[in-house]
Structure 1
């Protein structure tokens, strides 16, 4: 009998809680000589080109420090079958297109390991990529994350998901945990949690104004001075949110309210949403719970019950019962009318 052949993928950021692809097994492991840091800019997921968010990458340990300490970074390793690896990596290349490149690094299973378990593919963003923001103080990074938002949702959600994954693994990452502590204090100070939006208590019209921007900034820092975007000096009075970020906050505020139902999707739809920023089509839906009208907020889950995203549905639960698993081209004949080919448009989705 031939031994199964796997490609190993090491995840140290969002892949830890939302891989978005099929895998045969997963396990915790670490890499040596690298440190996880919030030095990479995000203009397509947790920020915008005008106001990038901050996400993690890896920096290599300087040679001169190796005699006094050893950097290790824990993460999750996924074993992907060889026949699925090519398609999976192609999708991941798109997901990580914002400055990340594939590398191969040795992985280890426990901190006493002297021998590598094997090689794993790792996506990391080098200092040369255009979106690299670089080092800053822990407080400035925390403030930056607190105020950032992008098409995939709030930067704070990315941070807290990462920190929670590490807490569940039982490992200590002081860089991440120090930032988490400051952000949680900011959230507590401004009464923000996972289920309410930064702008929940503001009455916003469809067109943001400078007075709204002033109100948002006042809400976030209560008049305090902060650093601005990359390149600003500490203590400058730069706005926490630009007009683009304010528009995103206005558009996303419903995503942090209570969902009215759950839509369960197959693995193909998970990959389309998680890896390629696609809309949710009826053919990828395998079930749903709850009763809801069109334009309702729903949680989107994979077949294992893990939350993938939230979105605003174009079809009600009664309509969904008639079109679940069907091709988009058949919707009009099934319903007698047509509201669009997708159940949830990609522009009305955020990733969790």
Structure 2
């Protein structure tokens, strides 16, 4: 991997993995230590509303996280930062951070990412799995349905051979709910 002094890295752990929305030179799996992926953010815009919040991922303190790193050309820095800030800082529940990044080739660098602000009113913390599944099942916002977001992230992690037990359980519950819905509709008809 050749990196010029002007290139920079962006770390994605949720929808950025499968929908970055910016140009990049390189995409690779990566690992961050000191933070973990968690469905810990009440979504008031992208996957829910203030009246009916969805639940989205945040990079929360502690543990570690496998995700995707994107190397961005230095010439695209200003445009990429403006795009990411508009996308991620809409309600200020995330804080922009530079974090240490381990690359699969054994190299290390620093990357821009967005971590959850635990003091923000949208920080959900650690919710029971039943509550997470309920919020995800009903959430719809400007970027679409919350279940689609969770399924897309889960499937992308599976392609990377990364297991996330919380996402796996929520996807299982969403599928079980969808499988029983037609039968319930038939019974009420």
> What is residue 146 of structure 1 aligned with on the other side?
137
CA distance in 2, matches of 1:135, 1:108: 26
How is 1:179-194 mapped onto 2 (pairs within 5 angstroms)?
A: 179-191=170-182
Matched residues, number: 180
CA distance in 2, matches of 1:172, 1:150: 27
Unmatched 5+ residue regions in structure 2? Answer: none
CA distance in 1, matches of 2:108, 2:14: 21
How is 1:131-210 mapped onto 2 (pairs within 5 angstroms)?
A: 131-191=122-182
Contact 1:143 1:183 in 2 (8 A): no
Counterpart of 1:49 in 2: which secondary structure? coil
CA distance in 2, matches of 1:189, 1:132: 31
CA distance in 2, matches of 1:36, 1:130: 19
**Is the aligned partner of 1:94 residue 2:95?**
no
Counterpart of 1:33 in 2: which secondary structure? strand
Counterpart of 1:101 in 2: which secondary structure? strand
Provide TM-score, normalisation by structure 1: 0.49
> What is residue 15 of structure 2 aligned with on the other side?
14
> What is residue 34 of structure 2 aligned with on the other side?
33
Alpha-carbon shift at residue 93 of structure 1 (Å) = 0.5
CA distance in 1, matches of 2:30, 2:138: 32
> What is residue 72 of structure 1 aligned with on the other side?
64
> What is residue 75 of structure 2 aligned with on the other side?
83
CA distance in 2, matches of 1:180, 1:72: 22
CA distance in 1, matches of 2:16, 2:72: 13
| CA-to-aligned-CA distance 1:203-226 (integer Å, 9 cap, x gap) | xxxxxxxxxxxxxxx97xx9xxxx
- Max Rg structure: 1
Structure 1 segments (4+ residues) deviating >4 Å: none
Contact 1:104 1:120 in 2 (8 A): yes
Equivalent of residue 121 in structure 1, options 107, 112, 118:
112
CA distance in 1, matches of 2:153, 2:136: 13
Unmatched 5+ residue regions in structure 1? Answer: 62-70, 192-217, 223-352
Alpha-carbon shift at residue 32 of structure 1 (Å) = 1.1
Counterpart of 2:118 in 1: which secondary structure? coil
Of structures 1 and 2, the one scoring higher in RCO (CA 8 A, sep 6+) is 2
How is 1:1-352 mapped onto 2 (pairs within 5 angstroms)?
A: 4=4, 5-61=6-62, 71-97=63-89, 98=91, 99-110=93-104, 117-191=108-182
Provide TM-score, normalisation by structure 2: 0.88
Counterpart of 2:126 in 1: which secondary structure? coil
Structure 1 vs Structure 2 CA RMSD: 2.0
| CA-to-aligned-CA distance 1:138-190 (integer Å, 9 cap, x gap) | 12101110011112211000000000100000111112212222122112222
| CA-to-aligned-CA distance 1:244-298 (integer Å, 9 cap, x gap) | xxxxxxxxxxxxxxxxxxxxxxxxxxxxxxxxxxxxxxxxxxxxxxxxxxxxxxx
Question: Which structure has the highest strand share of the two?
Answer: 2
